[in-house]
Every structure is written in structure tokens, then in C-alpha cells.
Structure 1
């Protein structure tokens, strides 16, 4: 009998023992004596011997089976993303040939053993991140000479870490971040001996003292993250002379002194020194960084001028230098030299709270991808380039507290929601074309030199919440007919020269809370209709009015009777009461209606904020049992805190109606941006047509939305106890905030509705038709959509990229990333539920596709970070090839919605 057959039989016996020690879990059904272990999904063989055992995300709840180390040729062991309890599994000391060991994302506790160096002398990779290990990291870890990757991140270590890590001469990746319970400690000088180190991740490790000068010896270093610590003193002189450095995160420390020069790290793509105490000028050398995408130097004490050469960086996407002591002008060519067609590189310019002077560069008006411009609290002068007002994607333009001059534009960008120009020298009249400012929510133009009458068109802004025009020279009577101020919360026209009567129609503005018409020349009776309002502030002083302030006692009594039957259950500190919500649930505030209820947009009193209120359909009163179940489940949802899940603020309930109050998402649902009717150039823009898509989503934005949504689902599936399965994930349930950050909505609601519905009308697995994964209700079900069969068919038929791409992203840029995401979608929609990846795996792959992901976040290294979904076809993709042919040659077929 050949030796490899004997070896396979021995390995098969061992693996069947491992299966038994694991309790014969369902996923191991293929492990049987009638087949070769080399054909089992979790096994990889080399020359007939079992070398790789991949038990990632198998819901293992018991201890590590001792029999694993009877696999004599085992070199690769992945036990990550399970629920393995107890102390470090010292039984693995017997795996004498082990080179790769991943124990991350489990429930291990206690200290790392002091004899950790008894692990295989061949070990190159060890990951114990995201567990609950505590105590000290033992110095013996420095006795493992072959280690190339050491990940200890996100544990409960409450002791120290050893300088002996600096003895690991072959170390390439070191991740110790998010161990904020470490005792305060300096970065060991010995770390400077790690000349092969490429990735150093020590964010939030309670580091103190200075960055060692020895770091200038890290000649291979590419990624340096020491953010969120208490580091002091200067940046080492030679740090930015490291030729391979591409990412530097030193933000949120207490670093001081000037930026050392010369800067010779010409491959830098992300450079974040924000929130420190750095001084001196921004070096001219920064302009030589021709690959720079992210430039965050804000919240320091930098002085001098911004080097003009920064404006010529072709890849610059984020430029933030606010809250410094800078003077001079903005680089005149800022945004002009993008190497992408249409100058679609620069996303944001934030240079507020400095001493910058001169004019705003005309070149900024040629950056249609700009989403925010914040130049307030400076000394800019001259007229604002007209192109700035009409930038296609611009949502926020903040220019207050400068000396700008000129008039108001007749047109604004269709997506501009915030225009702040107070305390400048703007002049002229309010143009009648102001009626085209249909998206404007906040307009602050106090203390300028505007004159002339207020045109009736000014009252037709449908989205306006806050309007400040106080401290100008406006004249004439206020329009008696208010066309469309149904959202208005604050109106300040004080210190002008307005005259005539106050319109009675002010009393019909349902959200008006703050009204200041003081120091004008208004005359006549104060309209009694104002008594219908719930005003927080009212100032009519220094006018020529007669009569009394309207009595609101009747309205208050009527409202109190209406509120008596409602109960409010809060999950946050509230800025409102039920009395602020219920009267405002009118058709004027209705923004959506679906299968489960209506949604209203309500203004929060004394603020510029909204909340979204969902009234759940209900045709009958809930009995006592269902009422308790509803409130119990809502209480669970109210405790969830994640930046990619829409926040449930409170629940307001009565006997026959339920209201869920959520944070409001300004850009509404992803569905409207992907599938809404595309507006043509000649077609007028109208907010009332809810499905108009005003802006195309480019690939980087779509990918960042996908990453954010995956982060939210990952939290629900893996970090909530019990886990939450959405069961209705679709683009209409992914909401976008003002910066297109995605948040998952309506999770858990499907389950609530299922409890309340009749058994014969709704399945126990609720959700929209076509969005429920086939096979079973599982944590892996959310990734399935009714496009699955079509996508698999497209892949199998080898449809070309031209035919398969979304029309909006047909450009050949990012082809590799698009291919990866499409393949990921295929794997997520596998007909076999047990074969689908977890959301943690999905998130890892998406993050690797995103060049800007990890900005201050928990970004992993590169040596072994290619998830099995991408890096090991034998492990994952080969499983799918058995049913549908998927090969590397087929990667030109992609269809993309996100």
C-alpha cells in the first residue's frame, strides 16, 4: 500500500476523532469513513497529507480537540470566529509542524501562558485578537524566531507588553491595537530593531512618552498607526524619510514640535496628524506626495501659509486643516489637477478657524465631487466663485465670519442643504430665483448688507427649517401669503427695516418654534392665529404693534386631552416630548408609506434636527400578551448602539397604535439613489417626486456604503446577544445620512409584525418577497436577494463586462474591486446555507477592496489577511465550482448595485 494512502487513512481516523470530540456537529456531515479527507470542505491536502484544517465560523462552543495535533503534517489551523471558551489551548503545543495559527474572535480568557514559546518552532503566524485574554503579554513571546505576523489586538490585557517583541527579527505584521487597559507604557526602543516590519498597529494602547528615535530604522515600514494614545514630544526626525511608508495615523495624541523634514516617504497615501499640539509651518515637502489621498492636519497649532504645491497633488480626496493658526490663501490650484476625468477627486475642503486671507480659488468651482466646503472663521475676502454655489454634489457651504462680498446667487446646487454666510459683507437683494433653492434646509445670512424687499418666492422653500436674515437692511412688507414653509422651525428677521402687518398665516406653520421680528417697523394687530403655535421664543419688541400676545391656554388644554392615552418609552436622552411629536404627524410631514406603516419627518424643538416617526399599521388593538411582547422586543432594539444601524430613539404607544421614533436620515434610502428615476438635464428638479435621482453614485461611494452596511450586519449577527437576523435586507432598508454613511433600518420589525399577524397570513419568517434566503432562517440569510439565480447564470455563461455592468459605473476604473465584490455576492447567495460566509468574512473582503477603509479604524495587515473567500480557491470557491463553473478567467462578468 502506498505511503500516501496509509497517511490518508491515519489522518482520516484522526479527523473522525476530532469530529467526535467536537460533538459531531452538523457541518461535519461530510466527514465519514467512506470518503477521503482530502475531499472534505474544511480540509486542504498536500501530497496526500492533511496540511490545512479550516474550522472558521463553525459555532464551536467546546474546547480545542486534543486530537488535532495527531495530524502530523498539519501546518495551518484556523479556529477563528467561534465560541471556544477557557484559557489558551496549550494542547496545541503538540502540533510540531504548525506554521499558521488563528484563534481570533473567540471567548478565550486568562493570561497568555509564559511558556508560549513551546508552540511549534516553525510558527510564522499567530492571531489571538478579539478575545478576552488578560494580564501581561509574556516576554517569552520574543523567543519565537520564525514569527512573521503577531496579532494581539482587542483583548482585555491589563498588564504590560514586553520589549522582547523587538527580538522577533522576521516580524512583518504587529497588531496590538485597542488594548486600552494596558498599564501606561512607553513604546520600547527595541521595536526599532524590527527592520522587516511593514505593519505596526498600536492604536489605543495607553502609550505614553515619545515615539522612539529608533523608529527611523524601520526601513520596511508601510503602515504606522499609533492613534488614540497619550504620546508626547516631537516626531522622530527620520520617520518621514522611510521610503516605503504609505499610511501614517498619529492622530489624537499630544505630540508637539514641528513636522520633521525632509519628507522622503513619497508613497504616502494617508497622512493624519490631527488632534495634537504640533506647531510650525506645513512643510513644502508635502506637495511632493503625489499619491496622497487623505491629508488631515486639523486641530493643531500649525502656522504660516498652506504650501501652494498641495493644490497640485493629483490624488487628493480629503483636505482638512481646520482649527489651526494658518494664514495666507488657499492653494490657488486646489482641486484643479485631478487625474480623473471631471476632476472627481476632491471630496471635502475644511479649513475653518484659521487666519486665512485672500480669495477662494476659482479652481474649487471645477470639483463636482466636492460635498462639503467649510471656510468659516477666517479672513477671506472678495466674491465667492459662482461655481462653488452650483457644484453638483455639494451639500454644505459654510462661509460665515469672513469679509466676503457680492450678491446672492440665482442658482444653488440641487443638493445644497446648508448655506451659512453670516457676518460677511454680502449685499444686494434677495433674488426672485430663490424659489429654485428647493433643497435648502439651513440658510444663515445674519449681519450682512442685504437690502430691498423679501420676495414672495422666499416663502416657497419646501425643506427650509432655519432661516436667519437678522442684522441686514431689508425693507417693505412681509409677503402676506406664505407658500411652502411647512418645515420651518426658526425664523429670525430682527434688526431690519421691515414694515406693515404680520401675516396671520404664520399661525398655520406647524413646526414654527422660534420667531424673532424685533427691531423693525411692523404695525397693526398681533394676529390671534399665533396662539395655535407652540412657540418657544417669540420676540416682537421695538415695533409698532398693538394688541396682546395670543393666549395659548386653549390649545394647551386641547393637546393635553389628546396626549392622555399615549405612553412614551425612551432609549436615549430626549430633546422632545410626546407633545412635540403627536400634533405634527400630519400629511404635510408625510415622507413615506410602505407595507408596515407610514413615516413622518418631525422637527425637534429648539434645534435644526429632524426625527423620523414610523406609525405601524394595525387594524385591531393588541391583546395584553402581544402588547408585552411588542414592548419587550422594542426595548431590545432600543439598546442597540452601532454607527451603521439607525438609532431607535423612543417608542410612543397607545392602545391601538404604535410609533417608533428614529434618527432622521437626510439622504433617505439607497434604493432611491440606485433605482430612482434619473433626472434629465432639461427636466426641472422637484423634491415632491420622491423617486428622482439627482446624483449618480460613483464606485467608491457604493463600496463605502457596502462596507458600512456589512459592518452593521456583522454587529447584529456576531456581537448582539442574542443575535439579530434582519430577514429583510434590501436597498430600501439601507438609509443614507448627509455624508452618505449607510445605516440599516427596520431590522427586527419584520419579526414584530410576524408576531402580530394572523398565523395563516404571514410566515414565521417575515420579510419582503424575494429577499428571504432559501434553505433556512440563519445568520447568513441577509446576503441573499432575488438576483441570485440571474447572477449565477450570468457568471456561468461568461457574459462580458460591458453587458453586465451597471450603466452608471461602466468606466474601467476599479475593475478588480468590482470583480471581487461580484464574486463575493455569488458566494453569499450559494444555494447551500451552510456554505455561505459569515458577515465577518464578508466585511473583511469588502474592506480589502476599499483603498480608504481603515482611516483611523481597525485595519489589518496584509500577509495573511486575504480572506479565504479571496485567497484560497481550494477552501471556498472550489466548493461552488462543483455546481457552477467559476474560474479566474470568468472574472470579467460583474453586475453591481452597490
Structure 2
């Protein structure tokens, strides 16, 4: 063989190898081209949305660098294995070309606006798919019976927070590789295939919560799912008892069966489980005692609130060294709180209010843990507050009202500048109240009434304090001269002295000012006319003298309640006071002279001027029981004789006689009124109308508005230890507009007919010819508006964190969704706003104030209402051009609330060019990044930033100009419900649960 032949033969393997490599590269290039073309086909099917602008071969030839695209590495380079487009605001359905990507194993399209039926035709061709997330979209209709046509390699199927309905098909259990099955928060009905699901031996995550399944017992078959780590079955009509067989689920870390109709006792295994970290069994009808032997050493959160549980708190809870959240409220627990609870090193939130606990709080409570929230109100606790509650500098809330605590306020708490809420009312505290507290930078609420505190008020109160209720103590000193953030100041029956501030400009935000029964002297300053927001003014029972200056009280246009009785005021009543529109007026037991302003000469004020011997009226038939100003003859002579006689008897005797006469008249009036009252109960009550009427006092007023005055009263007695209620009082005099009657009837009609955990509960209606009362459950934490919009000044209180804001949004959405979709006749609220969303002690939100509510037309008739109602900034644009509006007005208003929650801005800033809804729309149109729209106080929480932006976007959608384009409230609820609530097993739990 020649050398040349030898050389050719030796090069042959190299040539063949090069040909193979070239062929492989050619094949890879072909596969890459095929994948790129498939992605471009997907983009075209979605209409080329700007969110996918990076999917452009001209700008980025390598499709593996396109947004949301993941490719295989190594020999399979260029093959698309994953598409992740969560939160891209995509519309339409799932494009069929997506399954032309033969290597696709992961498809994540969560948090978009995708619609239509389940895309079975498109997805059944994805033979390699292992991860499918279509959650938080708007898919609807039933799931296909052949859903098992999906890839048999499917490990995760997430369809939660959509609008799927009908029954869950048994075929879903014929996906043998499933590890995570999430079907929660849809519209599924009927029976779910428990037996079939229980065959999925590898299942680790199962969520069926928030669906309207047919009532059924907790499926004992699930005990076979021994690999489960996460089981969420809230609010799905479960009945019966928690199965003992579930003790086989040894890998569980989260176990939640909340908001069902479960009965029986909590099985011992639940609190003895080796791996459980979170247990949620709240809002059921569970009874019995908690197991004594608690050994769930990994337990972080335990919530069994709102049940019928009895007995004592197990001593063994003090051994749970990881416990951070303990919620036992609204049960029937008794006995003492174990001292070992105070030694738990991670306990930051303890909620045991509304029980029957007795004894003292653990003395070490707060010293060994980052305690932030302490809710122990409405119990039978006694003794002092522990010194170390704020030892770690994290305490922000103390709710210890309605107990029998005693002793002095702990000195260390007097230095706890992190506190923003202090509720100690109705206890037996004594001693000096620390003056430093009044300057705490984060403090907003101080309610310490009905104790025996002493001390003085500083002249300047922290400008973040919005509410002070300190009545029935022994405080001395003067009324503060500066409290720019103060809305409510109730300091009745203390020992306050001195004069009212001569310049009241720094109290200009006051809405309620009540200081009866003190020792205030001097005169009424003209500058009181600066209190233009004042609804209620009570200066009675003091030593105020001089004349009422013209242009002072008479210019308080918002004033509805005025009580100046029992002072030493003299001279004439200024004519400008006749311009006031008062529902209650008392100027008795003073020294006024001259003619009463004509507009006050009406029967409604017949008892308003008693004990003023020199007042008169222009007409004898005024109904005021005062003499006419030109009355002479025998009556005039008799009056002169009486004046001389009273002068001889002396001032003390005069006041004594007048006082006795006043008391007799008042008692006769009250006796007469009680007999005329009629009470209509909407639930089982443990009090009578007399209990309510005898406790209504002007010093108990907590708010007022165009439709009435609201009182907070505590009804004692009963085996529950009494309760606190809110009472709205609406007068029915001839001067009151018929509009109030209509609003009263509307509120009774609406609230009396519905029951929902997120709608404020109307307990009863009490009415007479003179007035009408609505008695509600009392909401301790006031309105959402109070917690959001007090940050325009330095040193403002710590705002609500994002998980709490999200929880409030979900709660309020549930209430509105129930009104719109689940009532026999849909109800439109028409005045949804942050000030009408009330918060209970646990920040559970409830919709309130139904004075403008209307029940929509019956099925088959137009679902709309006429007449404009609402608040500027929350009112939708259709009020300007439509005579009839639908429930979408509530969706718009709620969208504004969502924008408030996410941006921290007010709905209508009078100093701003645009209302919040218009500003948000314009900013949204500018495009991402949108991080700058997020409230600066929550912007640092990167883990939840995407959820905040999703809710912001939802707010923009809800406030769309065209009503038909807005989602329904049920759709809004579905969009909200999953945010930071059901984390995937692979996610870090950075966002707290909203439940």
C-alpha cells in the first residue's frame, strides 16, 4: 500500500467523527430553531404583548436569554425546559404551540388574567410536563373528566384561586407522580373524590380549602397519604370530628381545618405530633379541653380560637420552645395562665381574650421573648401587669381591658416607646400614670378609663395620639394646649382644673371633646371656633363662667351634641348658636338671661334650659316650658316675688332646689322614655333594652356622622361577664330630615337579615317616637383609615405590615363578596371606604355603616340602584353620567381601598391634583418598574414585593372607568386570597398567613 493510501486510511476516523459532530450540531441548530419558532408562535397567540418584548430574535438571537425562558444545558442546549411568566398580566388562554416545546417540564402562568376553560387540548400534548401552575387567574367552568390526559410525569398541579366549578373529577387522582395538588379557592361543589385522592401515595401538599363542597365528614381515607407535609382544608363544609386515623400523617408540618363545622374534642395526637409547626383549627365548634400532654416540640403557631373549648390552659404549652404565636381567644377557657408561658423564648404574639382566665399574668412574660402583641381583654385576670412586658423593646400592643388588674402601671412600661395601642380600661389600676407615655412617638390610642390613675397631663401631647379616653380617674392639671393629631379627648370626672386653652388652634382636629365633672374655670375662649371638626362638646359640671362669646360655639358647623350644663355661664345666648344643627342640647343650671335664639325655641329642646331663671321665648306655644319675653301682669309680679324669695334663701339653697327639681324632671323623663321603647332582636341576647338605655351617656360617645351618634357602652353581668357594644342613636324629632329615617330603615333591613364574619353584626334595634337605636358588636381597633393615614408627620406610628394589610383586604373582600354573590338578594353597600372597614382586636376586618346600602332587584330585573351616595375619592365616574348604578360601584370603591393599602396614599388628597385612582392609573400606564408606587413603610419587604404590586395592579383594574370591565367581588377575592397565604413547599415562608 502506498504512503498516500495509508494517510487516507488513517484520516478516515477523523473525517467520520467530524461528520458526526457536524450532524449533531446541525440537529441542535434545528432543535433550537424549532424551539424559537414555537416561542414566537406562543407570543403571537397572545397578541404580542409588551411584557414579552424581549422575545425578539433580532434583539436577542438566543431564545434561552428571553424573559421567563429556561433551557437545558450541555448536549441538550437550546431545548426549552421551562416557561415562567407569573404576574405578567397576560390575557387570553394557554396557546396550543406551547406544547410544541417537546422538552418542556415546567409551565408557570400564575397571577395573570387568563380566562376560558381548562386548556386541556393544549396541555395534553405536553408529554414531558412535570410542573403546571395556572393559579390566580380567571379560568372557569368544570375540569375535564379526562384531566389525567396530562403528562403522567406531572408532580405539581396548581389550579387554585380561579373560578373552576362543578365536581372535582376522579381522574385527577390518576396522575400517579403527583406530589402537590392545589385546588383551593374555586367554586367546586358536590363531593370531592376523597377515595381516589387517597391513592396518590406520593402526595406531599394537598389544598382543597375555600370551596363550596357538599357537607361531609373529614375524609379518614386521607390518613393513607403518609407523605403529606401540608394539608389545607379550611372553609369547605367539613363536619364531624377530626379523625384519629390522621395520627398516621407523621410528616405533616402545616395542618389547617379552620372555618368548618367540626365538633368533638381536639385529638391528643394533634398536640403531640413530632413535626407539626402550624396548627389552625379556629372558627369551628370544637369542644372539650386541650390535651394535657403537649409534646409538639416543633410547633410555631397554634390557633384554636373561636370554638367552644373549655378547661385550663395546659401546663405543657410552656414546653414548646419554638412557639411564637398562641391564639386561644373566644373560647371558654378557665383557670390560671401557666407561669411557664412567660419563659417561652420565641413567643411574640399571645391572644387569649374573651375567655374566663383568672389569676395573674406570668411574672416573667416578655422578659425572655420578643413579645409584641398582648391581647388578654375580657377575662377575670387580676394582680399587676408584669414589669418585663417590654424588656426586649418589641411590645406594640397591650389590650388588657375588662379585667380586675390592680396596682401601679409598671415603671418599665413607662419607657416602652414602641407601644402604639394601650387599652387598660375597666380595671382597678391606681397610682401615677407615667407622664412619659404621652410623648411616645408611635402611640395612637390610650384608653385607660374607669381606673384610679393619678398624674397630670403635659401641655403638649404626642401629635400621633389620636384617641384619649381617661374618664373616671383622678388626673389633675390642665387641658393640653397642643395635641395636633388628637381626634377624641374624653376626660370626664377627673380633677382637671385651670382654664381652657386661650388659643385652641393646636387642637383643631378634635371631633369629640368631653371634660364633664372636673374643676375647669375661666371662660369659653373665642378660639374654640377653630375646632371646625368638632361633633361633640361637653363642658358640663365645671366652674366655667362669663358669657359665651359671639362667633365662638355658634360657628362650629359640625357640632351635633352640646352640653354646657352645671356651670356659671351668664348673659345672653348668642344668636349665632341658632345656626347649629344639634341632636342634643343641654344648657341647664347656668345663669343665662334674655331671649333664646328663635331656632332653638322648639319642643326638641324643651329640657335644654332648665334652671336658668331669666331666659324667655318669643311665643307661649314654643314647647320649651319657658316664659314669654313680654309676659306681664300677675305672672310677672309672681316672677319678681320669686326672684326676691330666691335671693333671700341664698345661692346654695337655690342651686339645691333647682338641682332636686332637675333630677326629678330627668328621672321622670327617663322613666317615661323607657316605657316607650321597643326592642327587636336579631340574635339571642343577654341584655334588655333597659340595660342599653341606662348606660347611654354623652361621655361614652365615640363618633358621629350625618346619620347619627355612636356610643360605646359596656353591659355588665351575665355568665359571659358582660360585653361591650356600639350603639348608634338617630333622633326622630320634626327637625330631623326624613333621609335619616330612610337610612335607619336601610341599615336595619340590611344588617338585620345577614350574618357574616366579615360584616359588623347588628344585635338588635331599639326604637321609640323620640329616637332610634342600633346596637352592634363593638370593634376595638376602630377603622382601617385610622391605621393607614397618620404618617404625614415626623415620628409617625409604625404602619401596618404587609401581611396584616393583605389580611384586612381579604376579610373586607369576603364581606363584600358575600353581599354581592351569596345573599338571597344581592346588596350594594355604596359607601365602601377605609373608614367604613372596622378592625376587631385581632385586626379581623368587617364592613360597616350600611346607611346607604340598597338591596338589588330580584333575579331577572336590572341589577342596579338609583340615587347617588358615597364619599368623594371613592365614588366611581358613572355617578356623573348614569342615573342607575350597579354593584360595580362597590368594586370601584374597594379598588381605591386596595390602592390605599399598597401605596399608603389617601383616597382624595385635597392638596393633590389627582385623586388616588386617577394617579394610580396614570402611573400604571407609564409601565414597570413599579416599585416606587409601594408605600415606603413596606417597600423594604422584598419577599412580598411582588404580592404588593399584584394587589396594586388589582386596585387599578377595579377602578377602571367602565363598570362592566371591572371584576366581580368574588373575582377580586379569588385574586387576593392566595397572596402570601399558601406558600409552596419550596418557598421560604417570608409572608405571614392571613388567617
> Which moves more between the two structures, 697-706 or 514-523?
697-706
Aligned equivalents of 2:990 and 2:306: distance in 1?
30
List per-residue Cα deviations over 1:431-462 (Å, max 9, x = no partner): 12222221111111211111111222222221
Alignment of 1:108-127 (within 5 A): 108-118=214-224, 120-127=225-232
Match of 1:284 in 2: 387
> Which moves more between the two structures, 813-822 or 303-312?
813-822
Residue 373 of structure 1 and its aligned partner are, at CA, apart by: 0.2
Aligned equivalents of 2:540 and 2:556: distance in 1?
18
Match of 1:262 in 2: 364
Match of 1:736 in 2: 835
List per-residue Cα deviations over 1:280-316 (Å, max 9, x = no partner): 1111112314111111111111110001221222321
Structure 1 pair 116/638, CA: closer, same or farther in 2 (3 Å)? same
Match of 1:102 in 2: 207
1:244 aligns with 2:369: no
Aligned equivalents of 1:609 and 1:250: distance in 2?
44
Indicate conservation of the 8 Å contact 1:292/1:315, yes or no. Answer: yes
Structure 1 pair 385/245, CA: closer, same or farther in 2 (3 Å)? same
SS of equivalent to 2:454: strand
Structure 1 pair 829/755, CA: closer, same or farther in 2 (3 Å)? closer
SS of equivalent to 2:599: helix
Structure 1 pair 710/216, CA: closer, same or farther in 2 (3 Å)? closer
Residue 414 of structure 1 and its aligned partner are, at CA, apart by: 2.5
Match of 2:117 in 1: 26
Structure 1 pair 544/373, CA: closer, same or farther in 2 (3 Å)? farther
Match of 1:392 among 479, 484, 492: 484
1:67 aligns with 2:161: no
Match of 1:355 in 2: 452
Residue 385 of structure 1 and its aligned partner are, at CA, apart by: 3.1
SS of equivalent to 1:170: coil
1:187 aligns with 2:293: no
Match of 1:408 in 2: 500
Aligned equivalents of 1:247 and 1:454: distance in 2?
51
Across the aligned residues of Structure 1 and Structure 2, the Cα RMSD in angstroms comes to 5.6
Residue 371 of structure 1 and its aligned partner are, at CA, apart by: 1.4
1:422 aligns with 2:422: no
Match of 1:442 among 536, 556, 569: 536
Match of 2:731 in 1: 604
Alignment of 1:780-795 (within 5 A): 783=895, 790-795=922-927
Alignment of 1:296-315 (within 5 A): 296-315=399-418
Aligned equivalents of 1:542 and 1:144: distance in 2?
87
Match of 1:557 in 2: none
1:162 aligns with 2:267: yes
Aligned equivalents of 1:202 and 1:139: distance in 2?
18
SS of equivalent to 1:428: coil
SS of equivalent to 1:821: helix
Structure 1 pair 842/105, CA: closer, same or farther in 2 (3 Å)? same
Structure 1 pair 135/354, CA: closer, same or farther in 2 (3 Å)? same
1:823 aligns with 2:950: yes
Indicate conservation of the 8 Å contact 1:716/1:723, yes or no. Answer: no
Q: Any stretches of 5+ residues in structure 1 without a counterpart?
A: 16-23, 338-342, 532-537, 549-569, 576-587, 592-600, 617-630, 651-660, 682-694, 758-764, 849-859, 873-898
Aligned equivalents of 2:131 and 2:276: distance in 1?
34
Aligned equivalents of 2:736 and 2:242: distance in 1?
47
Match of 2:465 among 366, 370, 376: 370
Residue 484 of structure 1 and its aligned partner are, at CA, apart by: 2.9
> Which moves more between the two structures, 459-468 or 780-789?
780-789
Alignment of 1:228-239 (within 5 A): 228-239=330-341
Residue 161 of structure 1 and its aligned partner are, at CA, apart by: 2.5
Match of 2:84 in 1: none
Aligned equivalents of 2:748 and 2:921: distance in 1?
35
Match of 1:173 among 255, 266, 278: 278
Residue 723 of structure 1 and its aligned partner are, at CA, apart by: 6.9
Structure 1 pair 103/542, CA: closer, same or farther in 2 (3 Å)? farther
Indicate conservation of the 8 Å contact 1:488/1:512, yes or no. Answer: no
Aligned equivalents of 1:43 and 1:349: distance in 2?
44
Aligned equivalents of 1:262 and 1:608: distance in 2?
59
Aligned length, in residue pairs? 722
Match of 2:972 in 1: 839
Structure 1 pair 649/356, CA: closer, same or farther in 2 (3 Å)? closer
Structure 1 pair 228/474, CA: closer, same or farther in 2 (3 Å)? same
SS of equivalent to 1:267: coil
Match of 1:51 in 2: 155
Match of 2:396 among 293, 310, 316: 293
Indicate conservation of the 8 Å contact 1:308/1:332, yes or no. Answer: no
SS of equivalent to 1:50: coil
> Which moves more between the two structures, 197-206 or 265-274?
265-274
- TM-score scaled to structure 2, two decimals? 0.62
SS of equivalent to 1:419: strand
Indicate conservation of the 8 Å contact 2:532/2:556, yes or no. Answer: yes
Alignment of 1:316-715 (within 5 A): 316-337=419-440, 343=441, 345-361=442-458, 365-387=460-482, 391-409=483-501, 410-411=503-504, 413-456=507-550, 457-482=552-577, 484-485=579-580, 487-507=581-601, 512-513=604-605, 515-524=607-616, 527-528=619-620, 530=622, 538=624, 540=626, 604-605=731-732, 639-640=753-754, 700=800, 708=808, 710-715=810-815
List per-residue Cα deviations over 1:840-887 (Å, max 9, x = no partner): 3454467x6xxxxxxxxxxx7988798999899xxxxxxxxxxxxxxx
> Which moves more between the two structures, 44-53 or 237-246?
44-53
SS of equivalent to 1:166: helix
Aligned equivalents of 2:323 and 2:788: distance in 1?
40
> Which moves more between the two structures, 821-830 or 398-407?
821-830
Residue 67 of structure 1 and its aligned partner are, at CA, apart by: 1.7
SS of equivalent to 2:245: helix
List per-residue Cα deviations over 1:458-499 (Å, max 9, x = no partner): 2222111111111111122222453530x2122211111222
SS of equivalent to 2:357: strand
List per-residue Cα deviations over 1:338-375 (Å, max 9, x = no partner): xxxxx2x111001110011121356xx34212111000
Structure 1 pair 497/845, CA: closer, same or farther in 2 (3 Å)? farther
Aligned equivalents of 1:239 and 1:709: distance in 2?
32
Indicate conservation of the 8 Å contact 2:513/2:536, yes or no. Answer: yes
From the CA coordinates, give the structure whose radius of gyration is larger. 2
Match of 1:83 among 188, 203, 207: 188
SS of equivalent to 2:579: coil
List per-residue Cα deviations over 1:7-42 (Å, max 9, x = no partner): x99x99xx9xxxxxxxx9724366454456569653
Aligned equivalents of 1:367 and 1:302: distance in 2?
26
Aligned equivalents of 1:234 and 1:648: distance in 2?
33
Q: Any stretches of 5+ residues in structure 2 without a counterpart?
A: 1-75, 82-98, 107-114, 137-147, 637-679, 684-688, 693-704, 709-727, 765-773, 777-781, 840-844, 867-875, 897-916
Match of 2:769 in 1: none
